[in-house]
Amino acid sequence: MNTKNTVLHKAESRGHANHWWLDTHHTFSFGEYYDPERMHFGALRVLNDDAIAAGKWFGTHPHDNMEIITIPLQGDFEHKDSMGNTAIIKENDIQVMSAGKGILHSEYNRNTDKEVKLLQIRILPNKKDVEPRYDQISLWDIEKTNSFYQILSPSKDDQGVWIHQDARFHLGNFESEKSANYQIKKKWNGIYVFVIEWEIEIEGQKLSRRDGFWIWDVEKIQIKSINDSKVLIMEVPMTG
């Protein structure tokens, strides 16, 4: 589906690579997957759906001038970086790194009997060469049922983690046949809806597990759960 202000990305249309230790799906062009129609959505540059095998890891590698968000979906993993941070990132956490003028980091699935599943998201920043920073919080204390709750914003004084970009992320855990509205927080922003689990309906279009849907030039949308579902909304500037 592709109308003047919406695009549907079915889960099976994403880029895919299986490196045996890492099974990954790419919503946008990444690594060896290249699609000129899927370079980014505004400031949203990367949306990877990763599964890391037991005992395996992303070795130490660099980043710069990117806001990097990780949302674990299953299991936990260890993070280390050149800022001196060592942390265990658990299911229902959110982690953010402002790579700024440059960082090195690694991610390690120390579980010996199960894989780790997570979303790796990268946002283009609105400031370059900032001091690198790291943050991580649990979502247990702020999560809600049958409504959206904010997990990321542009302000350190707002709910959730924050990044150097005028972006907001919201999660929603919905029971079957429940509906909720999402109001665009800033004019000219667009939203990318990603169905983490099960099925929803948005703008008359049905979306299933791991489908994505971008929409812009609207003030609000309504989402209805077809069955129990988990949904991530990423609102980003369209000028990125």
Reduced to 3 states (helix: H, G, I; strand: E, B; else coil), residue 12 is: helix
Residue 228 parent element (H or E): none
Query: Among residues 102, 96, 148, which one has the least CA distance to residue 122?
Result: 96
pLDDT of residue 2: 45
Q: Are 150 and 168 in contact (CB under 8 A)?
A: yes
Query: Strand 200-202's sheet: what is its strand order?
Result: 179-183, 220-225, 200-202, 205-207
Chain-centroid distance, C-alpha 232:
7
pLDDT of residue 66: 97
CATH no. for residue 106?
2.60.120.10
pLDDT of residue 78: 92
Q: How many domains does the chain have?
A: 1
For 229, the domain range is: 2-237
Angle at 160 between CA 158 and CA 166, to 5 degrees: 65
pLDDT of residue 1: 42
Chain-centroid distance, C-alpha 209:
14
Per-residue pLDDT of the chain (240 residues), as tens digits, is 444 589 999 999 999 999 989 999 999 999 999 999 999 999 999 999 999 999 888 878 999 999 999 999 999 999 999 999 999 999 999 999 999 999 999 999 988 889 999 999 999 999 999 999 999 999 998 999 999 999 999 999 999 999 999 999 999 999 999 999 999 999 889 999 999 999 999 988 999 999 999 999 899 999 999 999 999 999 999 975
What is the C-alpha radius of gyration for the chain, rounded to an integer number of angstroms?
Answer: 17
Query: Among residues 223, 220, 197, which one has the least CA distance to residue 71?
Result: 197
Spell out a b/e string for 131-144, using b for 16 or more CB atoms within 10 Å of the CB, else e: ebbbebbeeeeeee
pLDDT of residue 57: 80
The structure's pTM equals 0.95
